[in-house]
Structure 1
């Protein structure tokens, strides 16, 4: 059974949430290709602040066949708030394997390989590819993912592949467990039992209202009912947060070129500003991580109490279960 929630009452219009504004850091991008045994098998796309400092790390797993670079606008927004985003790419072997056997096992193993690369040698691997004045804080690492990558992120957090990297938080961006509840991808993690996930970290779920709608009557939903965000959230233990971008589709947070392409052939897209959708998703990332990595819950509290006075898009429902 999926639990239903309603958003909180709105507060005075003077409220703001700075997490939805661009951050104060300038950002840079790095592409890390497979070149030696010291680099993980998946190629890496890294977005980071340019200013000198030590920053939390977000390991972000892309959706099925989605290029990791196509999230660059979202990553740049998050990095501008002081985060290093590490996004493994798709290997040809992983793509073919996923197509042929309809499994996410390879995605989870690739994610574990990247996680181990990050943490090995006390972070020196990641440090070597970053600018000299930018350092990763391996005590503040978040695991996140979109679509099939969201499911892979949950699977890695649940121990379906081995990693020594300790994650402090988990964020699922419209995660998808499979084409339908009878054909969930391996490793199967949804059991449809409330608070069933054995996770020792706070979790945030960002869902889309149109993700379980088909495209043009010809294509099945990209995030089908029974395998999508409310079912993931239903199995999360507190502390957990839940936000649904009511008027947007499953791909509306990626870069514009891919939104347009996927909207024609793959999945339904919303009519609102995709830049606002990316800003909303990025702002939720920032607010959630400020609360659980830095003990600053002002923005998260404001979003939960008055989502549609501060968010650039309509969020409904919104929920924060603290304990």
Structure 2
């Protein structure tokens, strides 16, 4: 089957120049948590906002190449840095960040002149336990308690989400109930799974996304409309940057089963998010339909593509 050019294009960098900004909490007027922001810089415009929650004990800087890929296609991607030890706290903290971003002086403190974020087209996304947090924020009362009326969750994305170590060792808040259609999110949902994430890297560590509380279970409980993509030969941390610094960064290569290099998985996740949001937020379904119908256009092999 011939390769479709449109779907292939989302896996390349977009045509917008991108700036990576670090925003520290140094005064009451700045965000409640440190932020890593990837934003378009050329020209003026208002762009949809993606709030991206990092995985358990990871650094938001480990996702810098992924979020820059997404931003180059016309999105503002904001990744807060949390302590990462308590998912309940991360849900609350995510609400605080959304409230600050929704305030009149929020995003203007770090966005380039002439660039603005559209909080009525807000996507909550997250990786690993950050994916669990994304679902927790979207289906809980966090938004109504923390945000102004102009903030609206328009899409939810879980990248290899995990809800604890096993069915009897979930972390709070428990998202999975093991009942079909029990995740009540009032927005389109996409779940991306890694085919190797439920396999052990070595005998000393458990799988990073154990069977029973991983991507398959999240998709099984999502209500329609929901999309599901499983990448065959890549692992739980393969969408991170190649160069992840420090002890935590080195550990990312030894804790989870890995595929053959991170770059293809990173391009796939970035391009898939762009295609999904172009469809959900902009009404342009071409790229998303192309890559579903012609998976050979993807830089990775997909073992499952589902929709309901």
Change (3 A) 1:265 1:194: same
Aligned equivalent of 1:3 = none
Q: Distance in 2 between matches of 1:311 and 1:29?
A: 26
Cα-to-partner distance string for 1:23-49 (whole Å, 9 max, x where unaligned): 000100111111122223221110101
Matching residue of 1:127: 108
Describe how 1:4-19 pairs up with structure 2 within 5 A: 12-16=1-5, 17=7, 18-19=9-10
* Aligned structure 1 segments of 4 or more residues deviating by more than 6 angstroms: none
Asked if the contact 2:131/2:158 (under 8 Å) is kept, the reply is yes
**Counterparts of 1:263 and 1:139, CA distance in 2:** 35
TM-score (norm 1): 0.89
In the TM superposition, what whole-angstrom CA distance separates every residue of 1:16-69 from its partner, at most 9, and x where no partner exists?
Answer: 312112100010011111112222322111010111221111000000111101
Distance 1:177 1:289 in 2: 25
What is residue 230 of structure 1 aligned with on the other side? 216
* Aligned equivalents of 1:153, 1:39: Cα separation in 2: 23
1:72-151 correspondence runs (5 A) = 72-90=64-82, 94-95=83-84, 98=85, 103-121=86-104, 124-151=105-132
Which blocks of at least 5 consecutive residues in structure 1 are unaligned?
1-11
Which residues in structure 2 correspond to 1:172-187 (within 5 Å)? 172-187=158-173
- 8 Å Cα contact 1:215-1:263 kept in structure 2: no
Post-superposition offset of 1:118? 0.9
**Partner of 2:299 in structure 1?**
312
Q: How does 1:1-323 map to 2 (within 5 A)?
A: 12-16=1-5, 17=7, 18-52=9-43, 53-90=45-82, 94-95=83-84, 98=85, 103-121=86-104, 124-159=105-140, 161=142, 162-164=145-147, 165-258=151-244, 261-262=250-251, 264-271=253-260, 273-307=261-295, 309-321=296-308
The secondary structure found in structure 2 opposite 1:265 is coil
Give, in angstroms, the shift of residue 265 of structure 1: 2.7
Question: What SS is found at the alignment partner of 2:98?
Answer: helix
Distance 2:163 2:125 in 1: 15
Structure 2 residue ranges without an equivalent (≥5)? none
Equivalent pairs, count: 297
Residues 207 and 129 of structure 1: CA distance in aligned 2, closer, same or farther (over 3 Å): same
